[in-house]
Amino acid sequence: EVQLVESGGGLIQPGGSLRLSCAASGFSVDDYAMHWVRQAPGKGLEWVSGISWNSGSIDYADSVKGRFTISRDNAKNSLYLQMNSLRAGDTALYYCAREDHFDAALDIWGHGTMVTVSS
């Protein structure tokens, strides 16, 4: 079965760091572009970051640029999001999603991992 499972969320104080993981099964992450999308409580979807299949193209939302780093480990078939200098506004459910190469659509989503930034 093709699926994505996120982990690593939790309660963290402002200014702290967290590393989110996304484990893929049923497909190889190195064949696909992968993304992180977040959703603040009661709010809409916000694209956070994406990485191309060969890691040659990486981009970030302005709101996280310079603080978050996306990476992948093809051997572990996993995607990561290193989050530093966390702020209250980063509180959200973080989803990872797979992008279909030809259609540029996010076709597979995980169930998300919750990050709460609070003192």
Partner 1 sequence: EIVMTQTPLSSPVTLGQPASISCRSSQSLLHSDGNTYLSWLQQRPGQPPRLLIYKMSNRFSGVPDRFSGSGAGTDFTLKISRVEAEDVGVYYCMQATQYPYTFGQGTKLEIK
Number of residues that bind partner 1 (CB under 8 A): 24
- For partner 1, which stretch binds (CB under 8 A), given 11-19, 66-74, 78-86, 110-118? 110-118
Token pair, residue 1, equals 């079965």
Which residues from 39-98 bind partner 1, rule CB under 8 A? 44-47, 50, 59-62, 95, 97
30 CB contacts (<8 Å, ≥6 apart)?
53, 54, 72, 74
Asked if residue 105 binds partner 1 (CB under 8 A), the reply is: yes
CB of 41 vs partner 1, minimal distance in Å? 13
CA distance 8 to 81: 10
Q: Would you say the C-alpha torsion 27, 30, 33, 36 has a positive or negative sign?
A: positive
Of 72 and 98, the one with the shorter C-beta distance to partner 1 is 98
Structure tokens belonging to residue 22: 């996304």
Binding residues vs partner 1 (CB under 8 A): 35, 37, 44-47, 50, 59-62, 95, 97, 99-100, 103-107, 109-112
